[in-house]
A = this chain, B = another copy of it.
Amino acid sequence: MQVAAYATQGATEPLKPFEITRRNLQPDDVLIDITHCGICHSDIHAARNEWGRSRYPFVPGHEIVGRVREIGPKVTKHKVGDLVGVGCLVDACLKCPACHDGDEQYCEKGSVGTYGGTEPVIGGPTFGGYSKQIVVRDEFVLKISEKLDPAAAAPLLCAGITSWSPLKHWGVKKGDKVGVIGLGGLGHMGIKFAVAMGADVVMITTSPEKGEDARRLGVKDVLVSTDRAQMKSHLGSFNFLLNTVPVKHDLNPYLGLLARNGTMVIVGAIEPLEPMHGGLLLANRRRVAGSGIGGIAETQEMLDFCAEHGIVCDIEMINMKDVNPAYDRVVKGEVKYRFVIDMATL
């Protein structure tokens, strides 16, 4: 089937209207009319081939919300008219130990990314959510509560789950002292989740001016990481740090903040980091871990938690044609905290 989309034809090309071919509805497929799609920083990295593995034409978007238009005969999870979401994954083997454990993102056969993956039915690259419609395997479609604003729910599908998954995986609980490093798309969701889980949340930032907004999001304290006295006063006190810094940086000052058995989870920086000091790890038996997006069941759990707690992302809606300048603003950190494309404008 032919579907309208916005695509880029190369690393230095702007995004513009483009007709894409999606697979026809398979027996276990769901056809979704996309109403909203968030803009993730990964979209930009991939569109601009900053990770060196992009294929063109390239259609970004993995924070997708829409309504089910049609279902295949074997679809059991969703029905026509449902409000649904699609995140970073559209397929996986569902048979390996990782899939069995609900870690489809770590599927041992390789999961299929929503964009830039290999389309399992018709071949070629998978195309993301900057598009009127998408066809996705039943199991990879999430239910979204009608209680949630569909536009503001869209970024839950990546920014949300990426910050939710490590908080849950590492058992963050009521009364824990949790630091969220960096206040962007992921960071602001990390704050909302950790606050809702009952943790005592501290925003850790190099930008004191972000403090006011962080307090609005529910943090108990703001720690300016360039202020040595402030950092010293929090030494060895955090049970958990969610590190959303998206670029190479020095982990050592943050390591020193961790209490005994404390964990810092890196969700943003995927390049080589500054040298880490082994002694800081040995002291207090600290841990540094990575975490990438999340599995399907935990994404559903997160969406249900959001419906229960009235949590969505703070967003700025844009029209499809404004995506290119929006990209530049994301790169400059000029969005609070996520752009969402109104797909009616495509």
Where the two chains meet, the residues of A that have a C-beta atom closer than 8 Å to any C-beta of B are 97-98, 103, 106, 169, 248, 252, 260, 263, 266-292
CA distance in complex: A248, B275 (Å): 10
Q: How far is the CB of A50 from chain B (nearest CB, A)?
A: 13
Give chain B residues whose Cβ lies under 8 Å from the Cβ of A282: 266-267, 270, 290-292
**Contact at A271–B266, with CB atoms within 8 Å?**
no
Give chain B residues whose Cβ lies under 8 Å from the Cβ of A271: 277-279
CA distance in complex: A281, B243 (Å): 13
Q: How many copies make up the complex?
A: 2
Which of B272, B285, B290 makes the CB contact (< 8 A) with A106?
B285
Give chain B residues whose Cβ lies under 8 Å from the Cβ of A287: 263, 287-290
What are 10 A-B residue pairs whose CB atoms fall within 8 Å in the complex? A98-B260, A103-B285, A266-B282, A269-B278, A270-B277, A270-B278, A278-B290, A281-B289, A285-B289, A285-B290
**Contact at A279–B288, with CB atoms within 8 Å?**
no
CA distance in complex: A291, B266 (Å): 20
**Contact at B278–A283, with CB atoms within 8 Å?**
no
CA distance in complex: A205, B103 (Å): 32
**Contact at B272–A275, with CB atoms within 8 Å?**
yes
CA distance in complex: A274, B276 (Å): 7
Q: How far is the CB of A328 from chain B (nearest CB, A)?
A: 25
Give chain B residues whose Cβ lies under 8 Å from the Cβ of A274: 275
Q: How far is the CB of A181 from chain B (nearest CB, A)?
A: 13
**Contact at A273–B277, with CB atoms within 8 Å?**
yes
Q: How far is the CB of A104 from chain B (nearest CB, A)?
A: 12
**Contact at B291–A285, with CB atoms within 8 Å?**
yes
* Contact A281/B288 with A106-B260, A260-B98 known, Cβ cut-off 8 Å: yes
CA distance in complex: A290, B279 (Å): 8
Which of B103, B272, B289 makes the CB contact (< 8 A) with A286?
B289
**Contact at A272–B277, with CB atoms within 8 Å?**
yes
Closest to A290 in B: B281
Q: How far is the CB of A277 from chain B (nearest CB, A)?
A: 5
Closest to A274 in B: B275
CA distance in complex: A172, B327 (Å): 46
Q: How far is the CB of A190 from chain B (nearest CB, A)?
A: 16
Closest to A245 in B: B278
Give chain B residues whose Cβ lies under 8 Å from the Cβ of A275: 272-276
Contacts beyond the supplied A103-B285, A268-B278, A274-B275: 6 A-B pairs with Cβ under 8 Å: A263-B287, A281-B289, A283-B290, A286-B289, A286-B290, A288-B289
CA distance in complex: A267, B273 (Å): 21
Closest to A284 in B: B106
CA distance in complex: A263, B290 (Å): 11
Give chain B residues whose Cβ lies under 8 Å from the Cβ of A277: 270-273
Q: How far is the CB of A285 from chain B (nearest CB, A)?
A: 5
CA distance in complex: A263, B281 (Å): 13
**Contact at B290–A280, with CB atoms within 8 Å?**
yes
CA distance in complex: A114, B266 (Å): 37
Give chain B residues whose Cβ lies under 8 Å from the Cβ of A267: 282
